[in-house]
Structure 1
């Protein structure tokens, strides 16, 4: 998500949000309290790109425990939370998946959670069910340290998309 999809007014409204409202809005983007605090501490933002850069920096500073907190805010791929338009939109690639693919994803998700102790996290936006399955199969072979770094990259991408949507919603 780039700054071209937002207007200066949207960012100004975000910057002007009362602290509690800004906290709640950012917590919808990422469930890590440390990430939210990092972004709140850097307000106001001069440009959307400055907000995205601050998000990336806050994500890079997260501990393993902070990453676990962030991941806890994400449902498993193929099982978006009922009534949650964000996870449904982001996992759209699984919407028309065959029963076979859904069963494969369930089995792989369970194997991943057993190995790593957390949900498989991938920036699902724009990916097909097959692409997500293939990534899950490949990542099952990773060492935990490697997997945490991949999760950090995936969360960074997800947060950028969600921040862009937050600014779009502020504009609407």
Structure 2
């Protein structure tokens, strides 16, 4: 049985638990679970992006609270911690100056916006991440909320795709 077939067939509680590791917003997992069965992984990923982009700010804020700071090493063995470690692997190779700038930028961002800086780190260099952090520090609140929501949607899509391509044991059992 494929991972997608497992997700389509598993009990709702198991599916919600697996999807909450992709995006901690309760509405995200509930809507994707209610939309089963999905004909293929692309349909599921497309729906995940749609749901994430449509979340009200209160739900986005809940999801943001579950994300570690960029550059921090997520603790624990949860699926979300493991995903964050994979996604942020490039940051671990950053030089000392870039790491220090990320720490300072995270502090400034959190003071300004009241939540962690969220970016799809997968496929980005530490320098690209730092440049985006600096750019977004100049955004107004509304623009930054939209950007954080978009980044959450991209991260959610990556994680959902991983779930149904290599996560069969996590959903169906």
> What TM-score results when the alignment is normalised by the length of structure 1?
0.91
Select the structure with the greater relative contact order (CA < 8 A; seq sep ≥ 6): 2
Alignment pair present for 1:33 and 2:30: no
- The structural deviation recorded for 1:92 is 1.0
Task: Give the match for residue 154 of structure 2.
Answer: 157
Equivalent positions of 1:106-121 (< 5 A) are 106-121=103-118
Alignment pair present for 1:135 and 2:128: no
- The structural deviation recorded for 1:34 is 1.0
Candidates 49, 52, 56, aligned match of 1:59:
52
TM-superposition CA deviations, 1:141-171 (whole Å, max 9, x none): 0001001111111111111110111012235
- The structural deviation recorded for 1:60 is 2.5
* Structure 2 alignment gaps of length 5 or more: none
Change (3 A) 1:171 1:35: closer
> What TM-score results when the alignment is normalised by the length of structure 2?
0.90
Cα RMSD of the aligned pairs, angstroms, is: 1.4
Which segments of structure 1 move beyond 6 Å, counting only runs of 4 or more?
none
* Structure 1 alignment gaps of length 5 or more: 1-7
Alignment pair present for 1:93 and 2:86: no
